[in-house]
């Protein structure tokens, strides 16, 4: 398990080097997941009921980027490649979330149309 200790030491040293507490970053990253899915569900529900999606969509986005936001605000001397990586992660997250919303609302519309014929 020497490799694990080496990895752990290296990982924790990144926090000191870039002035970011890895435990806070990890806590935000993991802690935001349930709120992200709750807001995503809220967004889908509002679309299905033809209500405003502004607030749930904004909160979904906020919870998705919250850990990265912490990194960008608190971090110092962060390498340029990290910014590109964050941009790619956010773009992929937007793409993935929009596809989930489309799929969930499309299935609901299809089920509603089928049930209305009965």
| pTM of the entire predicted model | 0.75
Map tokens 């906020």 to a residue. 62
- DSSP element (H, E) containing 101: helix 80-116
pLDDT of residue 115: 54
Measuring CA to CA, which residue among 22, 8, 63, 71 is closest to residue 41? 63
Q: What is the mean pLDDT of each run of 10 residues along the chain (118 residues)?
A: 84 83 91 96 93 94 93 92 92 91 76 54
């Amino acid at each position: 398990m020497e490799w694990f200790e080496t990895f752990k030491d290296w990982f924790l040293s990144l926090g000191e080097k870039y002035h970011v507490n890895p435990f806070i970053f990890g806590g935000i990253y993991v802690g935001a997941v349930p709120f992200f899915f709750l807001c995503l569900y809220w967004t889908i529900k509002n679309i299905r009921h033809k209500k405003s999606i502004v607030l749930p969509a904004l909160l979904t986005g906020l919870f998705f980027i919250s850990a990265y936001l912490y990194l960008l605000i608190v971090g110092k001397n962060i390498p340029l490649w990290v910014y590109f990586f964050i941009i790619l992660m956010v773009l992929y997250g937007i793409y993935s979330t929009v596809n989930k919303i489309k799929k969930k609302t499309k299935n609901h519309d299809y089920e509603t149309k089928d049930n209305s014929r009965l």
